[in-house]
Structure 1
Amino acid sequence: MGEEIRSREFTRADHTRYRQAVRRCLDTLEAMLEAGSFDEHEWRTGLEIELNLVDADLRPHFGNAEILQRIDDPLYQTELGLFTIELNVEPRQMDGASLVHFEESLRENLNRARDRAREAGADIVMIGILPTLWPPAEGRAWLTDSARYRALDDAVMGSRREDIVLDIGGPEPLQMTMDSIAAEAACTSTQLHLQVSPAMFAHYWNAAEAIAGPQLALGANSPFLFGHQLLAETRTEVFLQSTDIRPPELRNQGVRPLVHFGDRWVTSIFDLFEENVRYFPTLLPQTSDEDPAEVFAAGGTPSLAELRLHNGTIYRWNRPIYDVQDGSPHLRVENRVLPAGPTVVDTMANAAFFFGVVSELAQDERPIWTRMSFDAARENFEAGARDGIDARLYWPKVGEVPADELILRRLLPMAARGLERLGIPAPIADRYLDILEARARLGRNGASWQAATVRALEGRGMRRPEALRTMLAEYTQGMQANEPVHTWPIP
């Protein structure tokens, strides 16, 4: 959920103090990078999954506080929506059987949480956007009771000075007006964390940007919102528009949105944090008592609280992370591209693809970002979100080709080499990559299965709301069985 804050009421003086504190944090981060103060260990990985809560009719269950109390596990936290929660999987070294251990731990944890949720008449679903979600009432009826979320809503709506207009294309375009950021709560994601050394951070971040489009093509799982079939991964556009602090005039001037793919390849993690401070306004100007420069000069490890809080309100699809563990500072790439679901094994296959391809690209003697424009990476991202597995993507020496061709001929072999580099045994790597190969060959991911199933049900005479609920029931059964989505039948 991000760090909680003490208050939702801020003054002009608060903003002035915060601006000064963020600049001091940024200067201290630069000094720490120059001094080589960071943990140099690489390839500790973590995972976060945002989850939907549903009732017995598979409609949203607006009771995350009770469900979290029943689960009683600090790895679970609230999310923006009253019908969503987040699971944080403990980080571990990427080697050997780590992917299998990740999968086993995740399945065991989710099964236990689902048992606790059922005691309250609810269930847990991993899906990018809940298909049975309908537009919210006016105000904050959807939002979790949290000072952070109320302050974010105040800041976004106050910056816009007008309502949010969702305008999303696709087979059944959607236009609607909202008086809060509530639509953001519809978006649930899988977030992959990768700890890297400062010297290699830019290589891994650039590699993550380069494969964001293929990630979406393979893993899209959010085709429906409020009864409309929209993009293969509608979540990306909903997230952008529902948090957009820019009125139309600033959008027309090219001012950056909070949900940001990026503008260029980078040479250091400092580039990204400096951009965050230079280009993005403060939303939550809460200051701490720490003077980071004094802490660092005294031999301590500063928390850089203001810089971290600011970074948490800028929703890059690949976010730079500064964190402190056991008194030691480290850096991570947080990959936020993927939706939640459809199954644990699909999630781990998506993770294997990301880790493998990024590992291989980051070590390439002639890096992808020297052979591919940043605009091409952004266009791939947009195509992957819009068209999913049917997207056409650009790749150096290949040109623009169907996503399945790029994935099968180039990226899956690259992922296999990267996983081997990381010490993942071939039988384990093959288990996950074979899932993605079948997904690409059959042209079926979560989004295409959802859309095809709803079409089939409507072809048998069901109206859209019932078709969506029936599809979600079938989806939930497949999720529980942990059979890859490409094997699911169309009813």
Structure 2
Amino acid sequence: MLVPPAGGVRGLIHHLVTLASAAHLWLSAHVGADVEQARYTREQRQQYREKVRRDLDVFERMLSQSQFEFDKPMTGIEIELNLVSEDLGPKLDNKAILEQIADPDYQTELARYNIELNVPPRPLPGDAALELEQELRRSLNRASDKAAELHTGIVAIGILPTVMPEHFEGDWISENIRYAALNNAVLDARGEDVWLELEGPTGERIARYSDSLAPESACTSVQLHLQVHPDRFADHWNAAQVLAGPQLALGANSPFFLGQRLWAETRIPLFTQATDTRSVELKNQGVRPRVWFGERWITSIFDLFEENVRYFPALLPELSDEVPEDVFERGDIPELKELRLHNGTVYRWNRPIYDTVGDRPHLRVENRTLPAGPTVADTLANSAFYYGVIRVLAEEDRPVWTRMSFSAAQANFEEGARLGIDARTYWPGLGDVPASELILRRLLPMAHEGLERWGVSAAVRDRFLSIIEQRCLRGVNGASWQTDCVERLEARGLTRDKALREMLRLYIEGQSANEPVHTWELPTA
């Protein structure tokens, strides 16, 4: 029986108030949450485009006139997880596992070997994050115990290293019409099979076609939500874009795919390619991809929604009966379902969110950069680092993005994904420096200061930010540990397949113990 792992989890920090009863609603901006059919007519697409534009006009009026919720600033988190069988291969049976877990916080994801955990928003002042760490471990351990009764394990990792091409054949997709609709929409828009081409630092590569979105399901992530005031949204989004490269360098945890060693965070290029709706010719014309870092700093959240409407055709043109202008004129809050659904099919690494809970609208930055895992402690450390640094960056008198080109931030993002903890990063005033040096010298002090501004205790800051410090000092994160472990196992004579399975077994043991990944031992060569 597999040791139940305590997977990567929950975000950190805001001095905020719980809306636990509305937690699912607050994190319900999933792609296709209201999808009711798998294919659409031309007339539906035309009507949907018109409706999205009307929603956008109303949203612009709301930004200038409406009272958005900010009295109770919130954070939230979503964690995508993998199911594995006793031989450590993917277990394609999430429906039965979820029935066994019987917890509404756990839901389906794209493939039948994926599930997702939605962690309720809650306050985290003082020492509350230390209690949260234990609560998350208990939740995941309960789920793992239930899954183990069906000979299944739960693993939090950026890409499950035992996923192979045969797992993308046959009945791989979850039993939910929104996933079938999305699969059809991407392939129909592309007009041909998806081409995947990735190469790692040692020359190992993948070059193959896929006739479905199945490879995208290999990408399991942690999504951090931060509720912000409309007037401060641009500052927080720009700050999150600046931070994306160092985030990846710190948190990379996806070095293997289909048996090959690729990027430190292979999830980034794999997700980009697997959901690409463009043919080769459209790429050559410079058409923007739906998985998108962006192309400029913004001055308002409206900039991002306007780009969505201007550049991206509908994938899931579901129409609602809402007349947004009428709702707004009578003083009620429009749901803007079409605008929100469309936004959910543009995969920005930092995505804008408009949502409503009860009768109040609010705005969030959804950070989608990080992979799942390796442990609860590591994930909380990643979250603490993100929320602490973004607080300081967003409040600077002379913001860093005014001294840095957008293309430099994107280059940092790609470098962090490619090389992980060994990446080099450009930063104004420092130039081109190792990412670990940037974090230790500049960003880690910001994280401490930002968390202190949120009212987080010294005990919490020391617990989680010391993990970030030691990762940088030792040069070890999830991706580097995985690759070093496999290298040592292969040096002992194991084949790549056996080495990956043994590495995953050791990974699950480390995950269960909740000791930070930089402390994990490696097998002797």
For 1:436, the equivalent position in structure 2 comes to 468
Q: Equivalences for 1:305-384 in 2 at 5 Å?
A: 305-384=337-416
Residue identity in the other structure for 1:298:
R
Residue identity in the other structure for 2:476:
R
Residue identity in the other structure for 2:444:
L
Deviations 1:163-221 (A, max 9, x none): 11100011211111111111000000000000011011111000000000000000000
Greater length-normalized contact order (CA 8 Å, ≥ 6 residues apart): 2
Deviations 1:243-267 (A, max 9, x none): 0000011111111111100111111
For 1:448, the equivalent position in structure 2 comes to 480
Deviations 1:151-172 (A, max 9, x none): 1111111111111110001121
Deviations 1:403-454 (A, max 9, x none): 1110110110110011011111122101101001000011000000000000
Shift of residue 289, structure 1, vs aligned partner: 0.5
For 1:200, the equivalent position in structure 2 comes to 232
Q: 2:70·2:227 contact (CA, 8 Å) conserved in 1?
A: no
For 1:471, the equivalent position in structure 2 comes to 503
Comparing 142-151 with 60-69, greater Cα deviation is found at: 142-151
**For residues 194 and 105 of structure 1, what CA distance do their matches in structure 2 show?**
21
Pick from 52, 67, 91: which aligns with 2:82? 52
Residue identity in the other structure for 2:81:
L
**Are 1:31 and 2:61 counterparts?**
yes
Residue identity in the other structure for 2:443:
L
The DSSP-based 3-state class of the residue aligned with 2:164 is coil
Shift of residue 99, structure 1, vs aligned partner: 2.4
Q: 1:136·1:182 contact (CA, 8 Å) conserved in 2?
A: no
**For residues 160 and 291 of structure 1, what CA distance do their matches in structure 2 show?**
32
Shift of residue 98, structure 1, vs aligned partner: 3.6
Residue identity in the other structure for 2:226:
L
For 2:439, the equivalent position in structure 1 comes to 407
**For residues 319 and 97 of structure 1, what CA distance do their matches in structure 2 show?**
29
Shift of residue 141, structure 1, vs aligned partner: 2.6
The DSSP-based 3-state class of the residue aligned with 1:237 is helix
For 2:305, the equivalent position in structure 1 comes to 273
For 1:175, the equivalent position in structure 2 comes to 207
Comparing 218-227 with 89-98, greater Cα deviation is found at: 89-98
Residue identity in the other structure for 2:410:
R
Residue identity in the other structure for 1:215:
Q
Gaps in structure 1 of 5+ consecutive residues: none
For 2:116, the equivalent position in structure 1 comes to 86
For 2:245, the equivalent position in structure 1 comes to 213
For 1:189, the equivalent position in structure 2 comes to 221
Shift of residue 469, structure 1, vs aligned partner: 0.2
For 1:142, the equivalent position in structure 2 comes to 172
The DSSP-based 3-state class of the residue aligned with 1:95 is coil
For 2:457, the equivalent position in structure 1 comes to 425
The DSSP-based 3-state class of the residue aligned with 1:296 is helix
Q: 1:23 to 1:310 in 2, by over 3 A?
A: same
Comparing 171-180 with 46-55, greater Cα deviation is found at: 171-180
For 1:256, the equivalent position in structure 2 comes to 288
**Are 1:302 and 2:302 counterparts?**
no
Shift of residue 24, structure 1, vs aligned partner: 1.0
The DSSP-based 3-state class of the residue aligned with 1:96 is coil
Q: Equivalences for 1:100-249 in 2 at 5 Å?
A: 100-136=130-166, 141-170=171-200, 171=202, 172-249=204-281
Q: 1:259 to 1:289 in 2, by over 3 A?
A: same
For 1:68, the equivalent position in structure 2 comes to 98
Deviations 1:59-96 (A, max 9, x none): 10000011111111111111001000000000123432
Q: 1:41·1:197 contact (CA, 8 Å) conserved in 2?
A: no
Shift of residue 51, structure 1, vs aligned partner: 0.1
Deviations 1:331-379 (A, max 9, x none): 0000000000000000000000000000000110101111111101000
Residue identity in the other structure for 1:389:
I
Deviations 1:460-483 (A, max 9, x none): 000000000000000000000000
Residue identity in the other structure for 1:341:
G
**For residues 72 and 421 of structure 2, what CA distance do their matches in structure 1 show?**
32
The DSSP-based 3-state class of the residue aligned with 2:282 is helix
The DSSP-based 3-state class of the residue aligned with 1:321 is strand
Q: 1:325 to 1:299 in 2, by over 3 A?
A: same
Residue identity in the other structure for 1:79:
E
**RMSD of aligned C-alpha atoms?**
1.1
The DSSP-based 3-state class of the residue aligned with 2:370 is strand
Q: 2:253·2:374 contact (CA, 8 Å) conserved in 1?
A: yes
Aligned residues between the structures: 491
| TM superposition score normalised by structure 2 | 0.92
Shift of residue 149, structure 1, vs aligned partner: 1.1
**For residues 315 and 396 of structure 1, what CA distance do their matches in structure 2 show?**
28
Q: 1:345 to 1:18 in 2, by over 3 A?
A: same
Residue identity in the other structure for 2:478:
G
Shift of residue 277, structure 1, vs aligned partner: 0.6
Give the ranges of 4+ consecutive aligned residues of structure 1 lying more than 6 Å apart after TM superposition.
none
Q: 1:159 to 1:94 in 2, by over 3 A?
A: same
Residue identity in the other structure for 1:320:
P
Residue identity in the other structure for 2:108:
T
Residue identity in the other structure for 1:156:
V
Q: 2:168·2:215 contact (CA, 8 Å) conserved in 1?
A: no
Residue identity in the other structure for 1:468:
L
The DSSP-based 3-state class of the residue aligned with 1:277 is helix
